[in-house]
Structure 1
Amino acid sequence: MSEPRKTKKKVVAAPSTPSSKTTSTARNTSDAPSNAPVWQASPEAKAKAKNFRLITWTLWILALCVTLFVAFWVLRQEPVNFWLLIGMFVLSGALVIPGNILWKKANILDPASEKDKVKFFVQNQLGAIVSSIAFIPMIVLLFMNKNLDAKQKGIAGAIAIALFGGSLFTGVTTDAPSVEKYSDEQALVVALLGKDEVFWTAGGSVFHLCAEVSDLQQESKTNEIVVGTVSQAHDAGKSRLTKKVTMELKQCGLDPALYDESTGKAVSQLTTPTEGATDGATDGATEESTEE
């Protein structure tokens, strides 16, 4: 094993609020032991997620009102007020896109369980669903309208389609958080490090195995590194563990052989999969998204 790197940044503890927790409630997954711990969001995280969702629903409802206004009033005028129409498209995007972003943040704080596949899909793709409902009717009615000439339809259509694309981009979730992924992730950290302790920065999107890793040293937005539990990292809005587990084990002065990249699990979890929280299943610890 190599010596761990040194960090020049200040390491501070995460806020000492009652953290999220894991329980020993059984999980019905084919590759996990029945006593694998199940992650639960803290009351503080749930409250913050609830506020985000309330704001999001307010924005989305206003956006749908814009859609109705465009469909039943703006596009029925003779002649159509072209600049009002453009303004309504822009306003709809200005409502939907921030709502989608807040909805994703809420799902990071308080994710759904993969057990209920319908609820899991809807909760994580609701931003894309609302975006489609808000924009598609307006776009269709725009091109069907007889009171706009071809040039006006081309300009307005291009703007509407661009805004629709932006809303879909922010609404679709490709690597959805879940209770199961968080549970497996926490078990992996404990198996690798012997304790539930991870590190992150305010500007980063993921968390890491120790303060000395290169990604944290290269983060230029802050001179502070926060240390806390996996649950506290999620409470801080960090979506997942870094993808660079093997590299970070080396940089932390730990044996990279502790981690099996092909399975995304700690070796101890592969050899003794029924020893509780430390050796719980970690199939959800692998990730596809990019680093911070």
Structure 2
Amino acid sequence: MAEQHKKVEQGASKADAGEPPAGWTPTPEAKAKATRFRWIAAILWAVAIIGEAVGIFWLLRQRVFVGEDGKLVRDADTGLLREQGVAAEFPQWAFVALLVLLVVIAALSITGSVLWKKANRLDPARKSDTVRFFVQNQLGAIIAIVAFLPLIILIFLNKDMSKGQKTTAGIVGIALAVLAAVLGTSINPPSVEQYTADQSAVIQLLGQDEVVWVDGGAVYHVCDEVSAIQTGSEIRTGTTAEAIEAGKSRLTLQFASELRACDLSVPENADQITEALRAIQAGQTDTALPAPVWADPADAPITVEEAPAE
């Protein structure tokens, strides 16, 4: 009987690839894709800030004068001449253009944030590098604030706009700014430490950095016979880095049942490993990944020595 699903191997990561890698790193393709996403995001954000500058230094300075047929009078307090009955107003075309500009800035900011988040998933920062980790993952929200806040403040300070124009433009600006900032914020972003923990678990459980996944899934697996990947799609095999490149976010926490499905040895402390991975995947940095404990030491697919104490 022909096989129902085709198994596709990714890259050069195979079971005979030799010594498992010492730490997680993105694939060259993922690194290049992340760099490309970041450049595009930076360009979009730059255009958004340029748009803000256009709004501040040109659009908000537009005005029309009404009552220009007023007579010339002398101000008794200042001694200066002025036209009585002349008033400056913010033109309607500029008001409409301002609303359009706010929408364009939001679209550029949000699109840039989406691409930046994709780049961070492919090539994350280390959580141990606190400042870089925060800035790299929250840069979308920071850019949104920079691109909107000065413009919104100057809208409310504009003396030529009517009360209705200020209210409308201000509400639209604030709403779009909040939306862009929220969409630019990363909640529980991935880190090198998280990806390394998943990779370390895979190597200790299987003896090599090799996992399986399907295109429609969100996680990668340790067994190609489980029902979760029997979807009719091609079953793909590769390293954890290749799985991340393919859009999978983490190792499944159901690895124990998957090992049983493939008649592989299951460590006695599988529950502890699961809970540790759950905590690390949730962003905790002080959780140690337990070493697998095997009922029979001969069941261990790989022997890894403890690092010497520093």
Whether contact under 8 Å (1:48, 1:106) holds in the other structure is yes
Change (3 A) 1:17 1:101: farther
Whether contact under 8 Å (1:39, 1:183) holds in the other structure is yes
Per the alignment, residue 52 of structure 1 pairs with 37
1:268 aligned onto 2:292: yes
Give the TM-score, by structure 2 length: 0.69
Per the alignment, residue 49 of structure 2 pairs with 64
Change (3 A) 1:73 1:113: same
Report SS of the residue matched to 1:263.
Answer: helix
1:133 aligned onto 2:133: no
Whether contact under 8 Å (1:245, 1:259) holds in the other structure is no
Report which of the two structures shows the higher radius of gyration computed on alpha carbons.
2
Change (3 A) 1:88 1:217: farther
- Residue among 18, 23, 35 paired with 1:38: 23
Whether contact under 8 Å (2:267, 2:293) holds in the other structure is no
Give the Cα separation in 1 of the matches to 2:294 and 2:175.
Answer: 47
Per the TM alignment, residue 47 of structure 1 is displaced from its structure 2 partner at its CA by 1.8
- Residue among 71, 91, 109 paired with 2:122: 109
Per the alignment, residue 12 of structure 1 pairs with 8
Change (3 A) 1:214 1:136: farther
Whether contact under 8 Å (1:259, 1:266) holds in the other structure is no
Per the TM alignment, residue 111 of structure 1 is displaced from its structure 2 partner at its CA by 1.6
Report SS of the residue matched to 1:105.
Answer: helix
Per the alignment, residue 192 of structure 2 pairs with 179
Per the TM alignment, residue 133 of structure 1 is displaced from its structure 2 partner at its CA by 0.6
Task: Structure 2: state its 5+ residue gaps.
Answer: 64-89, 278-288
1:89 aligned onto 2:99: no
Task: Structure 1: state its 5+ residue gaps.
Answer: 1-6, 24-36, 282-292
Give the Cα separation in 2 of the matches to 1:86 and 1:183.
Answer: 46
Per the alignment, residue 235 of structure 1 pairs with 245
1:198-231 per-residue CA deviation (whole Å, 9 max, x = no partner) reads 233334443233344454456xxx7233221101
- Output aligned runs, 1:203-214, within 5 Å: 203-214=216-227
Per the TM alignment, residue 170 of structure 1 is displaced from its structure 2 partner at its CA by 2.6
Change (3 A) 1:277 1:134: farther
Which letter does structure 1 place at the counterpart of 2:44? Answer: L
Per the TM alignment, residue 246 of structure 1 is displaced from its structure 2 partner at its CA by 5.5
Change (3 A) 1:185 1:277: farther
Per the TM alignment, residue 22 of structure 1 is displaced from its structure 2 partner at its CA by 7.0
Give the Cα separation in 1 of the matches to 2:180 and 2:218.
Answer: 21
Whether contact under 8 Å (1:187, 1:279) holds in the other structure is no
Change (3 A) 1:277 1:234: farther
Change (3 A) 1:162 1:209: farther
Per the alignment, residue 61 of structure 2 pairs with 76
Whether contact under 8 Å (2:207, 2:302) holds in the other structure is no
Change (3 A) 1:253 1:277: closer
Give the Cα separation in 2 of the matches to 1:92 and 1:55.
Answer: 15
Larger RCO (CA within 8 A; separation ≥ 6): 1
Give the Cα separation in 2 of the matches to 1:94 and 1:15.
Answer: 36
Change (3 A) 1:84 1:190: same
Give the Cα separation in 1 of the matches to 2:26 and 2:292.
Answer: 26
Q: Which deviates more, 60-69 or 190-199? A: 190-199
Q: Which deviates more, 72-81 or 53-62? A: 72-81
Q: Which deviates more, 47-56 or 163-172? A: 163-172
Change (3 A) 1:70 1:8: farther
Give the TM-score, by structure 1 length: 0.73
Give the Cα separation in 2 of the matches to 1:242 and 1:53.
Answer: 28
- Residue among 121, 127, 136 paired with 1:123: 136
Per the alignment, residue 284 of structure 1 pairs with none
